[in-house]
A and B are shown apart, each in its own frame.
Chain A
Amino acid sequence: QQQVKQSPQSLIVQKGGISIINCAYENTAFDYFPWYQQFPGKGPALLIAIRPDVSEKKEGRFTISFNKSAKQFSLHIMDSQPGDSATYFCAARVSGGSYIPTFGRGTSLIVHP
């Protein structure tokens, strides 16, 4: 499977700041890009997702920015809160063929109060 490269591995942000997590992919056939949020002791939860026909999608404080030409997408968490402290995974999938996603390695986010 094609790799999805996620960075940074860990991120520390002050309360109220902006958290930014980046992912890059190689397979141009990917056409669905979800982000997952995982709290300790829990399974990952689907947070927000984007398809390549749009460059940005916003849901509350969470925004995905998508750059098709650069094959990159990023998650922005505005006004970060201590409750956002979790591990975030990006993923990519080819919906018309295999529906099996490729996951990034995860980013551990800590938001200090």
Chain B
Amino acid sequence: ETGVTQTPRHLVMGMTNKKSLKCEQHLGHNAMYWYKQSAKKPLELMFVYSLEERVENNSVPSRFSPECPNSSHLFLHLHTLQPEDSALYLCASSQEWGSGQYFGPGTRLTVT
């Protein structure tokens, strides 16, 4: 148990749907991250929040919209996704100036 939970664990959505991924951390960390992990590709950093403010956005398409209402919760809102967006979406947290990141189990997203 890493202290970072993600829901749902699996999601199948059509290209016209709107859905949201949720992440919650119970570690008292103040930075949270969204990553995309596709087969045969390295981890892709999507968004970083520190103290609830977005500090990094790696040119992610606008069909992905993050929200960080407090230091324990992070959402990724999805709309009009493409089949190539099918991947494992990982949430992580860390202390801002601390050590390693702690990852959740991920949401396996399939876009049909």
Chain A residues close to B by CB (< 8 Å): 32, 34, 36, 41-46, 49, 89, 95-96, 99-101, 103-106
Q: Does B42 contact A (CB under 8 A)?
A: yes
Contact indicator B2/A43 (Cβ below 8 Å):
yes
**8 further A-B pairs in the complex, CB-CB below 8 A; given A89-B43, A99-B94:** A32-B99, A36-B100, A42-B105, A43-B6, A43-B103, A46-B102, A103-B42, A104-B42
Say how far B59's CB is from chain A's closest CB, in angstroms: 12
Contact indicator B45/A43 (Cβ below 8 Å):
no
How distant is the Cα of A72 from the Cα of B102 in the complex, in angstroms? 24
Say how far A38's CB is from chain B's closest CB, in angstroms: 8
* Docked complex: B22-81 residues within 8 A CB-CB of A: 31, 33, 41-43, 45, 48, 50, 56
How distant is the Cα of A89 from the Cα of B103 in the complex, in angstroms? 13
Main secondary structure of the interface of A (DSSP, over half): loop
Contact indicator A100/B45 (Cβ below 8 Å):
yes
Query: Which residue of chain A lies nearest to B91 when distances are taken between CB atoms in the complex?
Result: A43
Contact indicator B31/A99 (Cβ below 8 Å):
yes
How distant is the Cα of A84 from the Cα of B60 in the complex, in angstroms? 34
Say how far B90's CB is from chain A's closest CB, in angstroms: 5
Say how far B68's CB is from chain A's closest CB, in angstroms: 15
How distant is the Cα of A63 from the Cα of B31 in the complex, in angstroms? 28
Q: A32-B99, A34-B99, A89-B43 are in contact. Are A44 and B90 (CB under 8 A)?
A: yes
Query: Which residue of chain A lies nearest to B108 when distances are taken between CB atoms in the complex?
Result: A41
How distant is the Cα of A104 from the Cα of B2 in the complex, in angstroms? 22
Q: A45-B2, A45-B103, A46-B102 are in contact. Are A99 and B96 (CB under 8 A)?
A: yes
Closest 9 CB pairs of A and B: A43-B103, A46-B100, A34-B100, A105-B42, A103-B43, A44-B103, A43-B105, A43-B106, A43-B90
Can you list 6 A-B pairs, Cβ within 8 angstroms, ordered by A?
A34-B100, A43-B6, A44-B43, A46-B99, A46-B101, A95-B97
CB contacts (< 8 Å) of A105 on chain B: these are: 41-42
CB contacts (< 8 Å) of A100 on chain B: these are: 33, 45, 48, 56
Query: Which residue of chain A lies nearest to B95 when distances are taken between CB atoms in the complex?
Result: A99
